[in-house]
Each structure stands twice: as structure tokens, then as C-alpha cells.
């Protein structure tokens, strides 16, 4: 194992840096597992939720920001009293016990019995994207994980039929699906939206637009509505880009800014609560739309969905796909931007997202073979795939109406 790590570190050059970093993390994780005793295993898993609780306390008290700021200003370590000062009335003794625990899990560094300093993990925990992600996971997702074992046992480990029969309903004691529930829980919706927006800005520079040849696909395409074209919500021009379930419109803005000269409308579609908060971007039409209903924008060049189909059970996903297929004209293309999992060796993060989809919405991540099957069931055909973040398995699939499906 040690020689394996040496080999990996040997490959830690500036080229393929991220691949090597991930390989190193995976190898070290295996090394830790190989060294653990039964008692270590009890405490690893038994205290896992304590770790997240302590991180949440640290965020609530502003510990990570405070230590990071002190370091950035050259003030070094911060005393427990300094943290009490920021949280008037907080008891120093309890606080020091929490800080000591945070140091034991390397979230901060203890430099004396009552003084603490930031380390790399502390700085990450002070980052607003990380805070937004943790607010979403700890406040909204964690109760679903807790409910999952009992829910699966009660349902004989069968996939949920739809998004109103999942661990989410058990966790939150509701009959609503997660998105309808969000509409009634503004604080949880804000954590989710912040995380989605910031995560995408931060995760990597690449998006589908960095690999997909938009110009090549729109060459010769005419957006003017002519006779014989399907009625398209009374519009004079066809849409060039319809972002179905596009959140509050970051991607529509990106498309419009990147392709100001591409003619045709850019349309953002989402539920009313997202459209109410949507960005106002010149050249982008914000439209309330429920994707389980008939698609009102017909014959667009690109129908685009990112992170939509993985949110839903296969049966519900098929409804979304069929409505899109029915709106597509001969020149239309559906772009499905999702993870495309390898058949084996899926990363922990991707496997966790898959189970999170199961718990929250009855959704799932898919391999390429599973995508082909899902699309074929809705009369669609996967033509080609452009990977833009291969390490995260993220890519955009180019999909056309299947042969024999009439427009």
C-alpha cells in the first residue's frame, strides 16, 4: 500500500493534477481502512453524525470564519475568549470542549489548551460555497438519510414509484414532493438554490458550453416561424434554447452572453417559485412551466435539461421526456446534461448523489447503457456525448427523436 502511495505521489505533477489528487485521496482512504481496528470502525461510523453536528455548531458560532480571518490578518491563533466575545453569553467551557473536538477531527488546529488556529480545512469551511452546501445537507438532506433505512425496509428495497413516496416524506412528515415542499419552506429553498448556483460556479470552469459546438449546430437553422411549423405559444420566432427546469436562470444568462449573435429566443422554464426569483436577463424569456405538462414551446433548436432527469423516478422522467419529444420538430435536439456513470469503480461522491436522489425524489444516476434505455423508452435516441468534466462523469448527451417517431 505504501509503495502504491509512493507511486501515486510520484505522478503528482502539474499535468493531470486533479486526477492524481483524487487517486491519492482514494488510495489514502484505502490505507486508513486497512489500518483500522474494530473499535476504530465503531467510532468512525458511530460518531459520524457527531462530526456533522460539531461542524454545524462551528458554523453557527462563526468559528471557521473567525479563525480564517485572524490568519489572513496575520493575528494567528484565536483564544476561546475571542470566540466568546463574538458570541456574547456563550459559555467558554462548553465552547472549548467543542473546539477541542473540532481540532480532533482536523477541522481546526489546537495550538495551546485554549487557543486555536485555521488550517486548510478550516479555510474551506469558511468558504461561502461550502457553507451553502453544508446548510443544504445538514438542514434538509440529513433527516432523509436518517429515514432511509426504515423506508427501504418497509418498501422491500424497491425503487420508489414516484417522488411522493420516498424517504423524504417520512423524514419531513409531508405528502408533498420535495420541490412542492421547498415552495413552502423558503429557508430550505434558499439553501438549495444558493448551493446549486455557487457549486456550479465553483466546481470547475467547464460547462456544456465549453465543449458543445453550438455554432455548428445552429448553422443554417432559421428561427423565423414559417407556415407549417407547430404553433409555439403564439411566438414569431422559434426558440433557440429552452432550459427546462433551469432554476433561476444562470445558464440562460451564460448562453445569451456567450452567443449574443445566435438568433431565436432563449427561454427559462421552471416552477412559479423559481421564476419569481429568476434573474432578469435581456433576451431571456422567463416562463412558468410544469414539465409534467405539455411543452408549450414547440420546435425549438435546443431543449436542454441539466440535473432534471436524475431527480425523478423512471416513470416520471419518461413523462418529461415524452412531452419534450412531442414538442420537438425535425431540427430539434434535446440536450441532456447529467452524470454518465462508469459500469464499475464509481466514486464515493457520485454513488452518494445517486442514493441522495433515491432518498429525496426516487431518482437515480445512470450509466450510458441505462441512459440509452431510458431515452429509447420515450422514443428518443442518444446520438453522441460530449464529456466536459470527466472526473465528475459530467457530460451532455445529444438526443434526437427516434427513427419512426413522427413529428
Ligand X SMILES: C[S@@+](CC[C@H](N)C(=O)[O-])C[C@H]1O[C@@H](n2cnc3c(N)ncnc32)[C@H](O)[C@@H]1O
Instruction: Please list the active-site residues.
Output: 310
Residue 77 near residue 112, CB atoms below 8 Å: yes
Look up residue 38 and give its three cell numbers. 474494530
Residues that bind ligand X (rule: CB under 6 A) add up to a total of: 17
Pick the closer one to ligand X by CB: 299 or 338: 338
How far apart (Å, rounded) are the C-alpha atoms in residues 54 and 258?
Answer: 43
Q: Is 247 exposed, middle or buried (0-12, 13-18, 19+ CB in 10 A)?
A: buried
Can you list the pairs that 160-163 forms with residues at least 24 positions away whose Cβ atoms lie under 8 Å?
160/313, 160/358, 160/361, 160/362, 161/313, 161/315, 161/362, 162/312, 162/313, 162/315, 162/316, 162/362, 163/311, 163/312, 163/313, 163/316, 163/361, 163/362, 163/363
Pick the closer one to ligand X by CB: 84 or 233: 233
**Cell 457520485 found at:** 350
Span of 56-64, 205-213, 288-296, 338-346 interacting with ligand X by CB under 6 A? 288-296
- Span 202-261, contacts to ligand X by CB under 6 A: 245-247
| Rounded least distance, CB 127 to ligand X, Å | 19
How far apart (Å, rounded) are the C-alpha atoms in residues 89 and 365?
Answer: 47
Edge-first strand order for the sheet with 115-117 is: 78-79, 115-117, 109-112
By Cβ distance, which residue is nearest to ligand X? 245
φ and ψ of 252, to 5 deg: -65, -40
**Cell 444558493 found at:** 194
- Span 295-354, contacts to ligand X by CB under 6 A: 306-308, 311
| Rounded least distance, CB 311 to ligand X, Å | 6
Span of 14-22, 108-116, 283-291, 399-407 interacting with ligand X by CB under 6 A? 283-291
Q: Which position among 151, 191, 259, 291 is part of the footprint of ligand X (CB under 6 A)?
A: 291
Pick the closer one to ligand X by CB: 311 or 365: 311
| Rounded least distance, CB 250 to ligand X, Å | 7
Pick the closer one to ligand X by CB: 198 or 407: 198
Q: Which position among 203, 276, 292, 373 is part of the footprint of ligand X (CB under 6 A)?
A: 292
Pick the closer one to ligand X by CB: 257 or 290: 290
| Rounded least distance, CB 6 to ligand X, Å | 40
| Rounded least distance, CB 322 to ligand X, Å | 14
Task: Give yes or no for residue 274 binding ligand X (CB under 6 A).
Answer: yes
**Cell 457553507 found at:** 131
Cα angle at 359 between 372 and 186, to 5 degrees?
110
| Rounded least distance, CB 346 to ligand X, Å | 20
Pick the closer one to ligand X by CB: 5 or 271: 271
Task: Give yes or no for residue 133 binding ligand X (CB under 6 A).
Answer: no
Closest CA to 395 of 228, 209, 239: 209
Pick the closer one to ligand X by CB: 65 or 298: 298
256: Cα separation from own chain's centroid:
23
Q: Which position among 67, 71, 102, 270 is part of the footprint of ligand X (CB under 6 A)?
A: 270
| Rounded least distance, CB 180 to ligand X, Å | 8
| Rounded least distance, CB 307 to ligand X, Å | 4
For residue 210, what are the contacts with CB-CB under 8 A and spacing of at least 6? 388
Q: Which position among 36, 290, 294, 373 is part of the footprint of ligand X (CB under 6 A)?
A: 290
Pick the closer one to ligand X by CB: 295 or 332: 295
How far apart (Å, rounded) are the C-alpha atoms in residues 369 and 18?
Answer: 27
Closest CA to 82 of 66, 93, 98, 103: 66
Task: Give yes or no for residue 405 binding ligand X (CB under 6 A).
Answer: no
Closest CA to 244 of 295, 194, 317: 295
- Span 70-129, contacts to ligand X by CB under 6 A: none
- Span 164-203, contacts to ligand X by CB under 6 A: 179, 196, 200
Q: How many CB atoms lie within 10 A of CB 15?
A: 8
The residue ranges that bind ligand X (CB under 6 A) are 179, 196, 200, 245-247, 270-271, 274, 289-292, 306-308, 311
Amino acid at each position: 500500500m505504501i509503495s502504491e502511495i509512493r507511486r501515486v505521489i510520484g505522478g503528482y505533477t502539474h499535468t493531470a493534477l486533479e486526477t492524481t489528487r483524487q487517486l491519492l485521496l482514494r488510495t489514502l482512504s484505502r490505507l486508513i481502512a486497512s489500518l483500522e481496528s474494530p473499535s476504530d470502525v465503531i467510532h468512525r461510523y458511530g460518531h459520524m453524525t457527531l462530526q456533522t453536528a460539531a461542524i454545524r455548531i462551528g458554523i453557527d458560532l462563526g468559528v471557521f470564519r473567525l479563525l480564517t480571518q485572524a490568519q489572513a490578518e496575520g493575528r494567528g491563533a484565536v483564544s476561546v475568549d475571542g470566540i466568546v466575545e463574538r458570541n456574547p453569553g456563550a459559555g467558554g467551557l462548553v465552547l472549548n470542549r467543542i473546539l477541542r473536538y473540532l481540532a480532533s477531527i482536523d477541522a481546526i488546529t489546537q495550538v495551546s489548551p485554549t487557543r486555536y488556529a485555521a488550517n486548510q480545512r478550516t479555510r474551506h469551511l469558511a468558504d461561502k460555497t461550502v457553507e451553502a452546501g453544508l446548510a443544504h445537507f445538514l438542514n434538509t438532506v440529513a433527516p432523509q438519510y436518517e429515514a432511509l433505512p426504515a423506508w427501504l425496509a418497509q418498501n422491500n428495497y424497491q425503487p420508489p414509484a414516484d417522488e411522493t413516496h420516498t424517504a423524504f416524506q417520512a423524514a419531513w412528515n409531508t405528502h408533498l414532493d420535495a420541490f412542492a415542499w421547498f415552495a413552502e419552506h423558503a429557508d430550505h429553498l434558499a439553501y438549495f438554490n444558493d448551493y446549486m448556483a455557487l457549486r456550479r460556479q465553483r466546481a470547475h470552469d467547464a460547462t456544456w458550453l465549453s465543449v458543445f459546438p453550438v455554432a455548428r449546430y445552429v448553422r443554417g437553422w432559421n428561427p423565423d416561424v414559417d407556415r407549417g411549423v407547430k404553433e409555439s405559444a403564439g411566438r414569431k420566432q422559434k426558440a433557440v434554447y429552452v432550459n427546462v427546469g433551469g432554476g433561476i436562470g444562470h445558464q440562460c444568462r451564460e448562453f445569451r452572453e456567450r452567443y449574443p449573435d445566435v438568433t431565436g429566443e432563449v427561454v427559462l422554464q421552471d416552477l412559479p417559485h423559481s421564476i419569481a426569483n429568476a434573474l432578469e436577463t435581456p433576451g431571456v424569456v422567463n416562463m412558468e412551466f410544469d414539465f409534467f405538462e405539455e411543452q408549450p414551446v414547440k420546435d425549438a433548436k435546443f431543449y436542454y435539461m441539466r440535473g432534471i432527469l436524475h431527480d425523478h423516478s423512471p416513470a416520471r422522467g419518461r413523462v418529461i421526456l415524452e412531452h419534450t419529444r412531442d414538442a420537438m420538430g425535425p431540427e430539434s435536439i434535446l440536450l441532456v446534461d447529467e452524470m454518465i456513470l462508469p459500469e464499475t469503480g464509481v466514486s464515493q461522491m457520485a454513488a452518494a448523489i445517486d442514493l441522495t436522489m433515491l432518498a429525496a425524489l426516487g431518482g437515480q444516476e445512470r450509466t450510458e447503457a441505462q441512459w440509452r434505455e431510458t431515452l429509447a423508452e420515450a422514443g428518443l435516441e442518444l446520438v453522441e456525448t460530449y464529456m466536459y468534466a470527466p472526473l465528475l462523469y459530467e457530460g451532455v448527451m445529444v438526443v434526437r427523436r427516434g427513427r419512426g417517431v413522427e413529428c
